[in-house]
Structure 1
Amino acid sequence: MVETGWDADALPTLRRVGVVGTGLIGTSVGLALSARGVEVLLRDADDAQVTLAEKMGAGRRWEAGERVEHAVVATPLPTIPREVRALTRAGIADTVSDAGSVKVRPLVEGVQLGCDLSVWCPAHPIAGRERHGAVSARADLFAERVWAVCPVAHTGDAAVRATVALALACGATPVRTTPRRHDEAMATVSHVPQLVASALAGTLGDLSGSDVPLAGQGFRDTTRLADSDAELWAGIIEGNRAPIARRMRELGTALSALADVLDAGGADEVTAAVTRVMRDGHAGRARLPRKVGTATRSWGWVGVVLDDRPGQLAAIVGLISAWDVNIEDVGAFEHSLDHPAGIVELAVDPTVADDVVDRLNATGWTAYRRS
């Protein structure tokens, strides 16, 4: 089950929140909440990080015995269960959530440690940067990002509502799912991509220094994740290794099969295999939601050539809207300073996309249906 709708009237107003762990995520939570007038108390094993987070405006130091309505544990994955246990046993937080990017493993370990599951709502703000630490934190890190809310059967309603309220206060879109579904999905969309990016970037070691400058923007984009913190990610990968291993084997099998065709196949076989891989990629990309937190849906993409003069984009949007066609998203906008025209791609309901193209062409615009 994935749930994105929440009854705002049933959510609490958070006035004092504790943050355990003042790295990138924890400090960003503090900055986002402080900007909304929430009192934030900060704690970290590294006292220097707390001092830095304080100076950045993320909150103030959490003194012993101070109570909070809700606490967020944003520490490295292996430490989450014991931090949750410490908070609940001390009785200084009414409810607790965490920010770990793996959910099943910390829950199992939490049960073994005797954590009170009724006040702990497992969660995961799906946002981050390649840089880490308080110095990299941003108040808008979670803006328009998904915040996975992953309660279990024993999670109390108060913990769920507080976690949802926290996500909304940070500008995120809370999405409810289960811990297992979360981990399976993250293996595909986060953990395997991290490993692939790192492995691909590592192949640069095989190139001579004179060849490395030939790497273009595509290689840089594909390997951007390789700048991530190795120690942090080692803990994440270890915590979700079974789903990651399955996905890695599936990907490896597909790549090996393609390599076999490239080695021994004829020209037609190679063309067919590469085309199939590329088209599968197009289909996969098309499944990605264009709007955060919304259900996946395929749109019809309409490309329109725009003259390089003011008002063209406003004119085309106004015209299509006048036909009672909703523009769901604006995609690529291609424009070169060397050319007198550009191209904009607009997402509409696929059942009307062809009609929109015909009507645009009939009214003097140059339009096409993107495949």
Structure 2
Amino acid sequence: MTYKLEIELSTQKKQKPAADKLGFGKYYTDHMFIMDYHAGEGWVNPRIIPYQPLTLDPAAKVLHYGQTVFEGLKAYRTPDGQLQLFRPQKNFQRLNKSNDRLSIPAIDEEFALHALQQLVLADQDWVPEEQGTSLYIRPFIIATESSLGATSSTDYQFIIIMSPVGSYYAEGIHPVKIYVEPDYIRAVKGGVGFAKTAGNYAASLKAQDDAAAKGFAQVLWLDGVHRKYIEEVGSMNVFFKIAGKVITPALNGSILDGVVRNSIIQLLKHWNVPVEERALSIDEVYEAHKSGTLEEAFGTGTAAVISPIGELNWDGNQMIINDGMTGELSGKLYSTLTGVQNGTVEDELGWMVKLG
């Protein structure tokens, strides 16, 4: 199907915040993308319009049954002013995988990328240029049918909003303390753990709040069946370097297929660093720590890229990793990947999509 993208530019531009005041997800650009779905018509009426509130019926299904999915990616400005996106095709591919699991109609990935590019270009003045900053992009789909019947919606909206964000590590990359969650579980195979849907995050908040009260930055989730196999850390994928080999939990139906996770695996293989995707138990990590072979651990995700883990607390056992310092490999991965994203390191694997 051929779509015609309508563009209505705002006549009232917002005042842009200072780079050192950006934070994360606090300010929004002048425009947004929106597209409608109606049963029998398909996806129709794609448009870029001034950023504005949504109008939803109180009976909209997203409000009652949580039928919604989302993505997160970024646009960057290189030192010479070039705008570029990091592997956006992967995000729209994953969005459709989430759509399928939530019974939401698939989007046209090629057109979605085109619409996103036009939206970024319309708001290109919002892409910050300071070190460590970027333009965070949030595509999402919501069920809008006005009905309290517990069935898949007949109507949806596909929306993209954008927000300039500051450096995740304002004072430099630093390791965090992680609490291994003993009571709650994030997901199980057959559920929606691999999908990027709101309910996954809502269900994780209680454990996160409890961990924060204990002085930890995030939780490490274990599997929901055996309660011993590592899955994710907070809202990130997780990697462990044990005896010179990097290990990350294999995608098993309850783990998010992270774009940064995939990129880290590609980069490690490109460097000829041994990397394995397999089941990894917390017991194995603990034994590696006791034997002195647990060398590094880190989370990966769009927001932080790499988040080194300096300490794990499991069942009262404190595991200090690499003396609580950022490991050599973690630091190299962070500097390389962020360098590729902001244009200061050569894009050897062809990940960046240039705009304009």
- Please give the TM-score of this superposition, normalised by the length of structure 2: 0.26
Q: If each structure's helix is expressed as a fraction of its own residues, which one has the higher value? A: 1
Q: If each structure's strand is expressed as a fraction of its own residues, which one has the higher value? A: 2
